Structure 1
């Protein structure tokens, strides 16, 4: 649960930053509602560690945690609704790799709809926070202040290998078929060289597993010349990302012995490696659009139409 809260809070915070950068105009009250949501999520995360420990023996705390879980399901429903509104628009060159929530905030009609859901969620989180105050939870800072050393970084890198025996459920099969079907359709806009789809949501809901199932689908393997899986962790290196992409596309790494660290050489090398090939690219564990917009979009624009 702490991971879900942390992921959702980070997602909302990143989205607020993107809105500020792009100066997105929104209806009065919607922007403040999203700001409030970000603050509430982080405040709740600060007491969740203690709540998780106490809900094992305290029935009242257990009920409080369950109520918070239901609120998190509501939050993911809002993100799903944003994704639905994006999908209803169909593939669009103008939309690019736009954050679905950001897309809805740009549209006054969608902004009002999503804003109403966010307002209701904020009211629910207010009620949950007030109830939580009666338990006198110990805040996360109290534990962190006792730390004298930082834990070693966790390796979050993913790979496209799928353990078939561990993937069950009708929902993920339906989602896989639906996404593969959309990927197999040709865009009506022939000037649009590449199609971009986003799988969004909080941590732990199965985004990586769904991506793996699509990546390994037979229809995808038959349609695309080259498949590339890039794990974009929060500690990712642009140089390493470019090198991995070049190697995955069977390209030649620049520099003596292929060891160049110069992006000015790596970007053209990637463009050359994928030129006129129909590419299926997965960017897993992305937290924003900068990796695509500022680093990968230019070289991948040299891939074949339908990528």
Structure 2
């Protein structure tokens, strides 16, 4: 959802830039409404980033997110309406770009009043959503606050967020993620003489930018799956439980933990279960190096088959560095405009 809101905020900003460059001054009231929407979207995006980083699962917060999603649906509905009106003028008008149809509406007084009225109503809705967010004490991540204090505060409130290896195709758009997937799969499958049995790689980026989606693409790649005897996905998070982590990987590997709760009992079971197997392991949403260095590294490093790989997703380069991840890390970047619009259309309407 953070990516969707970020995408729409970027489009609103581009809309304002185009209006200035083309000197669209005749509709000052509508222009001011769009400017107000721009400010509110930035604030809400920062609040949503904090909700994502803290992994809040409270029902009232989830309803707030749902309310924000409905507002994004209304926003896309406005854009779709302008696209339709542009298409009514002819194909050449409709094919001029994602945001130009909105500009088309702004230039036409017959459409501008209706669109302006809907934008004003959307602004009021965004006001209500922003006012409601005060109850949750969100930290406006991405604002001018000190970065270290933001990270500390967001981590202290972190709740467990579960992910799995199940692939949600609705979160995938554009050629960039396809290129990144191919690149990472190639790295995972490359083998050189003298490499250790198991090597650790990382996907690094801020919360909500698509690290898990990219890891899903790699994890579900057919060519990769054909080369590994075991593929395992573990959702880590900040406050992971060592015993449950070992039990989960043993079960996914096809072993039986027998209800054991002692690390000294579980780690040998893991060794027996994966000994001699070529392993591809994803550690998703890693907040500190302990899950690997203190729990999994020792039982796995010397027993899995050569060519085994670990792919880590993390928001913090320091975590990757402490895990001695192979350089360079793979950084996930923001979507370009075309892909962002595609994601907005796919996600908001689901």
Alignment TM-score, normalising by the size of structure 2: 0.45
Query: Could you say what secondary structure the match of 1:195 adopts?
Result: strand
Counterpart contact for 2:230–2:279, Cα < 8 Å: yes
Q: Quick one: distance in 1 between partners of 2:267 and 2:36?
A: 57
Query: Secondary structure at the residue paired with 1:285?
Result: strand
Structure 2 gaps of 5+ residues are: 4-31, 50-129, 139-156, 309-350
Aligned-residue RMSD, C-alpha: 3.6
Q: Among 200, 204, 208, which residue is 1:204 paired with?
A: 208
> Cα–Cα, structure 1 residues 262 and 64, in superposed 2: closer, same or farther, change >3 Å?
closer
Report what 1:65 is aligned to: 42
Q: Give 1:228 shift.
A: 0.8
Larger radius of gyration: 2
Q: Is the 8 A contact 1:208 1:284 kept in 2?
A: yes
| Deviation for aligned residue 1:233 | 1.7
Cα shift readout 1:110-152 (whole Å, capped 9, x = no counterpart): xxxxxxxxxxxxxxxxxxxxxxxxxxx99x999649xxxxxx9
Question: Aligned partners of 1:287 and 1:186: how far apart in 2?
Answer: 28
Give matches, 1:1-307, under 5 Å.
59=36, 62=39, 65=42, 144=137, 155-190=160-195, 192-253=196-257, 258-301=258-301, 302-307=303-308
Cα distance between partner residues in 1 of 2:306 and 2:136: 53
Distance 1:179 1:271 in 2: 27
CA distance in 2, matches of 1:56, 1:300: 58
CA distance in 2, matches of 1:251, 1:64: 48
Q: Which has the higher strand share?
A: 2
Q: 1:288 to 1:187 in 2, by over 3 A?
A: farther
Partner residue, 2:79 = none
For 2:163 and 2:222, locate their aligned partners in 1 and report how far apart those are by CA, in whole Å.
Answer: 21
Q: Aligned equivalents of 2:216 and 2:38: distance in 1?
A: 37
- Taking a change above 3 Å as real, the CA distance of residues 56 and 200 of structure 1, as seen in their structure-2 partners, is farther
Query: Partners in 1 of 2:251 and 2:189 — Cα distance?
Result: 25
**Structure with the larger RCO, 1 or 2 (CA within 8 Å, 6+ apart):** 2
Note the C-alpha offset of 1:218: 0.7
Q: What is the CA-CA distance between 1:156 and the residue it aligns to?
A: 1.1
C-alpha spacing 1:165/1:59, structure 2 compared with 1 (3 Å): closer
Q: 1:284: Cα distance to partner?
A: 0.4
Q: Deviations over 1:159-217 (max 9, x none)?
A: 00112354221111010000001111103324x11111100111111110111110110
What is the TM-score normalised by the length of structure 1? 0.51
- Superposition deviation, residue 232 in structure 1: 0.2
Secondary structure of the residue that 1:199 maps to in structure 2?
Answer: strand
| C-alpha distance after superposition, 1:248-278 (max 9, x if no partner) | 111121xxxx111111100111111110100
- Matched residues in 2 for 1:197 and 1:144: separation? 35
- Relative to structure 1, the CA distance from residue 57 to residue 233 in structure 2 (aligned partners, 3 Å threshold; closer, same or farther) is same
Determine if contact 1:233/1:285 at 8 Å carries over to the other structure. Answer: yes
